[in-house]
Amino acid sequence: MTLRPALLASIAAIALSACATAPASEPQALAPAAETVRKTTGTLVTENIPDAPPSLVERMERYENVRSHSFQDWTGEGGILITTRFGDVNAVHEVRSPGGARRQLTFYKEPVNNADASPKGGAFLFAKDRGGDEYYQSYQFDLETGEVTQYSEPGSRNGAALWSDDGALVAWARTRAGDPNNDILIADPADPASLRVALEGEGAIGPVDWSGDGKTLLLQRYQSITKSQIFSLDVATGTLTEINPGDDVAYSGAALLPDGSVLTVTDKDSEFQNLVRIAPDGTLTNYTGNIEWDVSDWALSPDEKTVAFTVNEGGLGTIRLLELESGQVRPGPTLPVGIASGLVFSPGGSQIGFTFNGATSPADAWSFDVATLNLTRWTEAETGGLDPDGFITPEMFSYRNADGMDIPAFIYRAEGDGPHPVIISIHGGPESQSRPGFSSTYQYWAKELGLTVVVPNVRGSSGYGKTYVSLDNGLNRKKSVEDIGALLDWIAAQPDLDAEKVVVYGGSYGGYMVLASAIDYPDRLAGAIDIVGISDFKTFLENTEGYRRDLRRAEYGDERDPEIAAFFEAISPLRNAARITKPMLVIQGFNDPRVPYTEAEQILAALKANGVTAWFMMAMDEGHGFRKQANREAQRKAETLFLREVLGVE
């Protein structure tokens, strides 16, 4: 019984992503200002964005053509499955030996970012949506015949599927538009007619492990980043039993051990996520309590004796191994500075595959021997003809905010004495974390545009304990924005940085942070780039899907509470748009199921009404961020032209 790493994020992903219906109409027509021209080129709708000169495009596209590889699974025959991009989107490829040729298996216009091999071999599962709508459909790919079978029901949204140990069945979570609850389904993926509902679930619940005999499913219900529940489900009777009921804690995945105990990761009695064992009587054994960082990815070996896990050490991802019988934790293989993720044991348990994303190297598929820790590199990422030795290594630092707290951050320093213009890149979530993995975008900004890139983890970020991640909840929402103000103070004190030339950049919740920063610090910014950002919490909550709404209320606050409603009105970027005075680029996907495109349209209209220079780009075939290569290149061109104009860089 091997816990699949993709499933650790499955419940949170299906909880925090929204069901989306197909677009019913074209974008609403606005009353543009006289000088504004909205034009459509292919699937892109733009306003005020000029054409890029060929010299800029040629150099920029080298960075956009950097190609990474993500380890997905073992084929069972000595090879592996990876995802990488050849053409416009990611696809599944097979690699039969380390350094061997990649054989492309899926060929779709939409990206495929996962592959989960059958325990008995010969097939794998994958999922894809349409135009970024996140209405994922589930498929089985037969490795012998190449035949693809869709086993999910059209019109539904489906989470990552979990193979039973014998490879006969899969279990997954399904929801439909407007339904706040997930159902748990079971089927033979080769026979869609075998589909049955094992549980009519409540909330964002999904499977995380099968028992060895296939009679029991472990389920996890996600409520917020700091609260979830674990249940056991009797597959035959549908009886649901909560593990340790009453605990107000977070869990991340679970595995059922032969003695009836449950292996999981939790923050119970700790600031951090620890790897623990919960006995049938509720007794808890903490294996990693002396590690003051979060345990993130983890996997249980097929013989259920060894656990491989990664530790998020201030953003880095290092590997360690736990022997369950003795409780001994030992180091994993020695890796360069970067992030290891997605651990998967080989069928025999002697090897562990993973993805490694170096600070100055794109992601690649690796494996190591459990006994010797000897490393094997399966793929070597392409860097678009760029010299990887010239890439900039991010530095970790912290700065002090007005409340006397040290805020962690990373900086990619442009070469030369400066002073250099600055771009502040703010992550979304809001419970995400910026980590020092490879970014072709940051390298491009620093190497080609001469910008220093600062990447903060403001209050509310994960990775620094459950207290820190909750510091921006509810009425504390603006505390995270204050941390951007403190960062602007820090920038002003650095001799190699130009405090007169600063742009804020962010997507999703990071887009809200961009808008809020442009309102609170207009005289300290040269411009802003808002990508799929929330422009008003009230309209955002009204237009996001029903089951997602309560999950977001746990983080942002409940707009039905008069105090929260008044606070939302006070901090709304839309209602305070008159305070935005600097140019802004707004980027949006029309099919976005999380932050609907209307959030972008309404802030754009407000900017234009106030006479603010506003550039706009919307992709009609994208959702929450651009995933297709042609659209990503168009986005990068627009960003480059905008940065050149507002910062005066060449």
619 within some domain: yes
Nearest residue to 514 (alpha-carbon basis) of 526, 522, 505, 524: 505
Q: Residue 640: is its pLDDT beyond 70?
A: yes
Q: What is the mean pLDDT of residues 272-287?
A: 95
d(CA 262, CA 220): 12
Provide the pairing of β-strand 527-531 with 584-589.
parallel
Q: Residue 19: is its pLDDT beyond 50?
A: no
Q: Which residue has the higher pLDDT, 108 or 59?
A: 108
Alpha helices in 256-323 (DSSP H): none
pLDDT digits (tens, 9 = 90+) for 115-144: 999 999 999 999 999 999 999 999 999 999
| Domains identified in the chain, total number | 1
Residue 23: DSSP 8-state: P
Provide the pairing of β-strand 102-104 with 80-85.
unpaired
Which pLDDT value is given to residue 56?
Answer: 84
Q: Is the separation of the CB atoms in 398 and 476 below 8 Å? A: no
Residue corresponding to tokens 């609403």: 28
Which pLDDT value is given to residue 30?
Answer: 33
567 within some domain: yes
Q: Is the separation of the CB atoms in 342 and 7 below 8 Å? A: no
**Rounded alpha-carbon distances, angstroms, from residue 230 to 53, 235, 239, 470:** 55, 15, 14, 22
Q: What is the mean pLDDT of residues 172-176?
A: 95
* Token pair of 392 as six digits: 């900039």
Which pLDDT value is given to residue 547?
Answer: 65
Q: In what order do the strands lie in the sheet with 240-243?
A: 204-210, 216-224, 227-234, 240-243
pLDDT digits (tens, 9 = 90+) for 195-251: 999 999 999 999 999 999 999 999 999 999 999 999 999 999 999 999 989 888 999
492 within some domain: yes
d(CA 436, CA 434): 7
Which pLDDT value is given to residue 14?
Answer: 37
Residue 468's pLDDT band, with cuts at 50, 70 and 90, is: very high
Q: Is the separation of the CB atoms in 564 and 557 below 8 Å? A: yes
Q: Is the separation of the CB atoms in 327 and 289 below 8 Å? A: no
d(CA 433, CA 449): 25
* Token pair of 185 as six digits: 């389904």
149 within some domain: no
* Token pair of 362 as six digits: 């794109």
Instruction: Tell me which H or E stretch contains 637.
Output: helix 629-647
The answer, yes or no, to whether the previous bond of 430 is cis (omega within 30 of 0) is yes
* 59: three-class secondary structure by DSSP: helix
d(CA 478, CA 570): 11
Q: Residue 5: is its pLDDT beyond 70?
A: no
Give 619's contacts (C-beta < 8 A, 6+ positions apart): 43, 44, 45, 588, 589, 590, 626, 628, 631, 634
215 within some domain: no
pLDDT digits (tens, 9 = 90+) for 558-597: 888 999 999 999 999 999 999 999 999 999 999 999 999 9
Q: Residue 16: is its pLDDT beyond 50?
A: no
* Lowest mean pLDDT segment, chosen from 35-39, 145-149, 263-267: 35-39
594 within some domain: yes
Burial class (CB in 10 A: 0-12, 13-18, 19+), 465: middle
Q: Residue 95: is its pLDDT beyond 90?
A: yes
Residue 23's pLDDT band, with cuts at 50, 70 and 90, is: very low
Q: Whole-model pTM?
A: 0.92
Instruction: Tell me which H or E stretch contains 351.
Output: strand 351-358
Residue 35's pLDDT band, with cuts at 50, 70 and 90, is: low
* Token pair of 177 as six digits: 């538009």
259 within some domain: no
Please give the full DSSP string across 421-468, using - where no structure is assigned.
EEEEEE--TTT--------HHHHHHHHHS--EEEEE--TT-SSS-HHH
pLDDT digits (tens, 9 = 90+) for 500-538: 999 999 999 999 999 999 999 999 999 999 999 999 999
Domain that holds residue 631: 31-63+392-647
Nearest residue to 504 (alpha-carbon basis) of 616, 573, 429, 424: 424
Q: Is the separation of the CB atoms in 67 and 85 below 8 Å? A: yes
* Token pair of 79 as six digits: 């090879």
Nearest residue to 647 (alpha-carbon basis) of 450, 442, 373, 513: 450
d(CA 555, CA 254): 24
**Rounded alpha-carbon distances, angstroms, from residue 514 to 506, 559, 566:** 6, 22, 21
Residue 9's pLDDT band, with cuts at 50, 70 and 90, is: very low
* Token pair of 516 as six digits: 């809020």
582 within some domain: yes
Which pLDDT value is given to residue 6?
Answer: 43
Query: Could you tell me the CATH number of the domain that includes residue 427?
Result: 3.40.50.1820
State the chain's mean pLDDT as an integer.
Answer: 92
Q: Residue 474: is its pLDDT beyond 90?
A: no
Task: Measure CA of the first residue to CA of the last residue in the chain; give whole Å.
Answer: 55
Residue 427's φ and ψ, nearest 5 degrees, are: -75, 165
Which pLDDT value is given to residue 180?
Answer: 84
Residue 623: DSSP 8-state: B
